[in-house]
Structure 1
Amino acid sequence: MSSIDDKMYKIIQDPLNGPVKVSGIFLDIINSIYFQRLRYIKQLGLCNLVFPGANHTRFEHSIGTMFLASEIKNYIGINDERLEIAALLHDIGHTPFSHSIEDKFFENFGLIHEDLTSNIITGKGIYGDSVIPEILNKYGYNPEEIADLATGRNKKTVLSKIISGSLDVDELDYLRRDSFYCGVNLGNIDYKRIFNTIKISENDIVGEEKSIPTIESAIIGRVLMYSSVYFHKTCRIAQKMLGIAYELYNGKDKNDLRMNDYEFIYALENDKKSSEIIKKIKSRNLYKIIYRSSYSEDALNNIREKMSVFDSDLYIIDVNPPLYFNEKSRLKTDFTVYYKDKKYEINKISYIVNALNENIKRRDIIVSADESILTKAASIIKT
């Protein structure tokens, strides 16, 4: 990062990457209110109820993504500070508990975290008080342009693909970081080997043939992290209970999007309708699994009909992995590599990647229920 030559700098000690030196525009952004807010938004929502070490935040993940963006520049010959700036800002719009109840915020307000990231960077909507546009303008950068890079909405540029592409610095940080803090050692990807074996070709990031084993290992790590951590059945129960609490909450307002985890929990716990379920989450008195079967649309509809005799806030019907999680778009198996001097998507040449694509298609229906209906619900659903 060129700004580290400034006289005023700070060193941030990252447990994953070691000391990260920041100054200039990066230090100004990090010291801003909306970026500091990320200190109080957990990276993995309520997964710390299963993995006690998973208390890391979007703050350190954003620092790590910036660090990797700076690292990759040295390998592929890009000298553009916008890459690190956009990487640092890519998650600034995350709502409380990260992805845990992002679907509920979308249902109520029609916004996802990329929209909010863009609005904070440009100072729009409820983020009119954001100082990020002022900081960017001060250093000669266009907020709209940085917003497009940070959210991956300008797919035509290599910079955007490095931040949000088939194998990006965002993912290379969060897989390694989440694995480290959860203590599962599944996402420990050799990012330096990847950086050493990729190059820019026709405005795209492409792997050399010798990169294929490392890319395969990254995809394997991604799948294992999803199955073992992100889609862990108990993590999903806790997060869906939080979603139910928000549905019950009387005080819904767009300003909920600006809250951090602690403010959000405080608001819901002090609301008559949502307080009880928040207390259950805080004491880890979670809904218990009463039924599990292979997924089919007919089976799902049958279960929904049987459980409809109970209040909807007393049970959860979960499809795991979720239906939106389909092979190519979520596993990102379309990364381009050279094989025998020709370009291929890795899923076209790798037996390992194809096997993973098939594996992720297997889904379960998992039904869990509150203790007040546990016995009756288990009896009804099994008839």
Structure 2
Amino acid sequence: MGATYCDEELPSKNFALASTDDRRFTKHIHDNVHGNIYIDPLSLKFVDTEQFQRLRDLKQLGFSYMVYPGAVHSRFEHSLGVYWLASEAINRLKTYQGLELDIDHFDTQTVKLAGLLHDLGHGPFSHTFEREFLPRVCNGQKWSHEEMSLKMIDHVVDEHNIDIDSESLKRVKEMIIASENGTSKSFKEKLFLYDIVANGRNGIDVDKFDYIVRDSRACGLGCNFQFQRVLETMRVIDDEICYRAKEYLTIQKLFAARADLHRMVYMHAKVKAIEMMFVDAMTKANDVLCISSYIDEPAEYWKLDDTILKAIETSSSQDLKESRDLILRIRRRELYQFCNEFAVPKDKLEYFKNVTPQDIVCSQNSSHPILHEEDIVVSNVKIDLTRGRNNPLESISFFKDYESNEKFNIKDDLVSHLLPTSYQDMIVRVYSKKPHLVEAVSEAFENFQLKIYGKKAQVHATPEKKKRKRLRHICGGGV
């Protein structure tokens, strides 16, 4: 794995009295991205629980490893990485502005714990469980891994009698959901601390710093984003973390690198095909295994991890045969067949509605075999820079130099005319569950494009279409 324990033991001291910066009282772990990581005694109490160790059995990138074989790193490694970067961030601020900002042990400890525990409530196979599977089986019930992380933290504290005061626990949990709920309202001071782990103001946080570098490396992709420069140059002005104006393009690369990972890895056409097959398998298995019943209670939820795939695959239950058959198809690479995709025009994004299998069925040709909704899968893929159709850099505060106490925003056109003018892509992909229907589904999808947008944009021809074009060329257009 990317993060491994070293053999050295902790000194037998009163950990509560030890400084979190004193490495004599920490656990030493070597990480393949950040090098040596030191876990303080309180954080280690959380790490050494079965609930946190469960993260070893959750792949960070879900099914991406079936396209990128190296993408087998876990949420465990990522969580340690975010812990370490949160520690680095708060310590840098303390070094440069500690007296001015009055950063104390309470602040340092809560920021580090928030980084460590932010993904404690993640489900199997990355976001597939939360965004694809649960909406199908939970009848509109709202559920998020962030909220489950908060429940899991309370459960771990109670289950293992971890000595942490209620105010620290409250702040840790608020920092974890800061990106969802915005900046904390219950703490009137030091709001800049909420910008570190899950930044609700502008999306620049150590969570992204870690997964962008870690995921790029695991998939063998280059990454020209240098988070070290951002950490070194950040500064707090008016209770907000701001960045040196000279680092504008460095920060722009953060969002560009994230978008590239979505396009090339997270939303890869074959990765999505595998995810959709697994979601179908899980949905069919839900009545038998009651998978969705685990999501309400942390005492049950922590038992869910990626091994659920193997549990279905090796079960002898006749009730799970359909699910087993789907997983067998995944193993044998007999995937749902990609038919075609269409990029929604920029001027249509504001009013775009997700395309459904019903839309495709209603656009089919009578000359082809009759299509049914259950034959088709549609994936509506949204890729943006964290702020939808808006430029995230417009909500970032910069400063000129270290002598200045004034913060300001920067417009793209003041930096370069080569920067993007659009900040969101919406790609509609259509798949056929049955190989013999690929051509019919592809034609129906093209008809749908013509009906809705008055044009078709065939990005990828299906194998059948390529074959027909070759035959037309060989036969002089007679086929």
Tell me which interval the TM-score lies in, with the shorter structure as reference length: 0.7 to 0.9
The corresponding residue for 1:144 is 170
In 1, the alpha carbon distance for the partners of 2:55 and 2:391 equals 25
The corresponding residue for 1:159 is 193
The corresponding residue for 1:202 is 238
Q: Do residues 191 (structure 1) and 254 (structure 2) align? A: no
Distance 1:357 1:25, change over 3 A: farther
Deviation by residue 1:2-48 (Cα, 9 ceiling, x = unmatched): 43637554321100000112241121111111110000001111011
The corresponding residue for 2:146 is 114
In 1, the alpha carbon distance for the partners of 2:238 and 2:134 equals 38
CA RMSD of aligned residues (A): 3.2
Q: Which amino acid aligns with 1:280?
A: R
Question: Among 223, 227, 251, which residue is 1:215 paired with?
Answer: 251
Once the 2 structures are TM-superposed, how far is the Cα of residue 118 of structure 1 from its aligned partner? 0.7
In 1, the alpha carbon distance for the partners of 2:204 and 2:276 equals 29
Q: Which amino acid aligns with 1:305?
A: C
In 1, the alpha carbon distance for the partners of 2:390 and 2:293 equals 30
In 1, the alpha carbon distance for the partners of 2:328 and 2:360 equals 28
Once the 2 structures are TM-superposed, how far is the Cα of residue 73 of structure 1 from its aligned partner? 1.8
Fraction of identical pairs, as percent: 23
Q: Do residues 363 (structure 1) and 426 (structure 2) align? A: yes
Once the 2 structures are TM-superposed, how far is the Cα of residue 149 of structure 1 from its aligned partner? 1.7
Which is worse superposed, 339-348 or 100-109?
339-348
Deviation by residue 1:167-210 (Cα, 9 ceiling, x = unmatched): 10101001010001011113x42122111211111121111222
Q: How many residues align?
A: 375
Once the 2 structures are TM-superposed, how far is the Cα of residue 347 of structure 1 from its aligned partner? 5.2
Does structure 1 conserve the Cα–Cα contact (< 8 Å) formed by 2:54 and 2:305?
A: no
Once the 2 structures are TM-superposed, how far is the Cα of residue 267 of structure 1 from its aligned partner? 4.2
Q: Which amino acid aligns with 1:159?
A: L
Distance 1:310 1:154, change over 3 A: same
In 1, the alpha carbon distance for the partners of 2:113 and 2:259 equals 29
Q: Do residues 335 (structure 1) and 396 (structure 2) align? A: yes
Question: Among 283, 297, 305, which residue is 2:362 paired with?
Answer: 305
Matches within 5 A, 1:251-290: 251-252=289-290, 253-255=292-294, 257-269=301-313, 270=315, 271-290=320-339
Does structure 1 conserve the Cα–Cα contact (< 8 Å) formed by 2:57 and 2:307?
A: no
Distance 1:255 1:228, change over 3 A: same
Once the 2 structures are TM-superposed, how far is the Cα of residue 218 of structure 1 from its aligned partner? 1.8
Question: Among 33, 44, 52, which residue is 1:27 paired with?
Answer: 44
Does structure 1 conserve the Cα–Cα contact (< 8 Å) formed by 2:86 and 2:111?
A: yes
Q: Do residues 236 (structure 1) and 254 (structure 2) align? A: no
SS in 1 for 2:27: strand
In 2, the alpha carbon distance for the partners of 1:54 and 1:169 equals 20
Deviation by residue 1:50-107 (Cα, 9 ceiling, x = unmatched): 1110000100000000110111123212442111011100001000011123122255
* TM-score (normalised: structure 1): 0.85
Does structure 1 conserve the Cα–Cα contact (< 8 Å) formed by 2:26 and 2:40?
A: yes
Question: Among 69, 89, 113, which residue is 1:52 paired with?
Answer: 69
Which is worse superposed, 32-41 or 298-307?
298-307
The corresponding residue for 2:121 is 93
Which is worse superposed, 303-312 or 270-279?
303-312
Which is worse superposed, 292-301 or 78-87?
292-301
In 1, the alpha carbon distance for the partners of 2:75 and 2:325 equals 28
Which is worse superposed, 190-199 or 107-116?
107-116
SS in 2 for 1:3: coil
In 2, the alpha carbon distance for the partners of 1:314 and 1:323 equals 30
SS in 2 for 1:364: strand
Distance 1:354 1:132, change over 3 A: farther
Q: Which amino acid aligns with 1:117?
A: S
In 2, the alpha carbon distance for the partners of 1:281 and 1:357 equals 39
Consecutive unaligned residues of structure 1, counting only runs of 5 or more, are 124-129
Higher relative contact order (CA 8 A, sep 6+): 1
Which is worse superposed, 264-273 or 14-23?
264-273
Distance 1:180 1:149, change over 3 A: same
* TM-score (normalised: structure 2): 0.69
Does structure 2 conserve the Cα–Cα contact (< 8 Å) formed by 1:179 and 1:225?
A: yes
Deviation by residue 1:129-187 (Cα, 9 ceiling, x = unmatched): x346755534776433322222324613222221111210101001010001011113x
In 2, the alpha carbon distance for the partners of 1:66 and 1:378 equals 46
Q: Which amino acid aligns with 1:150?
A: I
SS in 2 for 1:53: coil
Does structure 2 conserve the Cα–Cα contact (< 8 Å) formed by 1:222 and 1:331?
A: no
Q: Which has the larger radius of gyration?
A: 2
In 2, the alpha carbon distance for the partners of 1:7 and 1:97 equals 37
The corresponding residue for 1:127 is none
Consecutive unaligned residues of structure 2, counting only runs of 5 or more, are 1-17, 95-102, 185-190, 296-300, 448-479
Distance 1:332 1:231, change over 3 A: farther
Does structure 2 conserve the Cα–Cα contact (< 8 Å) formed by 1:347 and 1:353?
A: no
Which is worse superposed, 89-98 or 349-358?
349-358
In 2, the alpha carbon distance for the partners of 1:201 and 1:96 equals 40
In 2, the alpha carbon distance for the partners of 1:355 and 1:314 equals 41
Distance 1:298 1:66, change over 3 A: closer
SS in 1 for 2:395: coil
